[in-house]
Structure 1
């Protein structure tokens, strides 16, 4: 597995989904299931940390002018 710093949120989620699929198949040997579970927990932690970081960035964007305002994405017309 790639190091945490190299993974994007989307890559971590994709790997986590693949692990969940493998574990749901049910025919994984116990030792391999434990390894998958550990990798899944690490990926889950990475995703949580990246989401927390994104939330902090959004807070900074919202507080940039000293006011809390809804963040709206300008769509092209």
Structure 2
């Protein structure tokens, strides 16, 4: 069973990876929000690990970043 600290670490890891991928593609949060069709403030909240987003939203972000959604939740999958 995951503890609260484990959950926070997972959300931080996902948020940091999304930020890294977005910046490596020279995309702003605004650019990503347009490509993923989700609000810009939601991108920021995900990157800062302020919210636990849905799988559908992660799929939209992954598609906009041209990566497999699995690579967002398992950065060791070598699909980024």
Tell me if both proteins adopt one fold, taking TM over 0.5 as the criterion: no
Q: Which of these two proteins has the greater Rg computed from alpha carbons?
A: 1
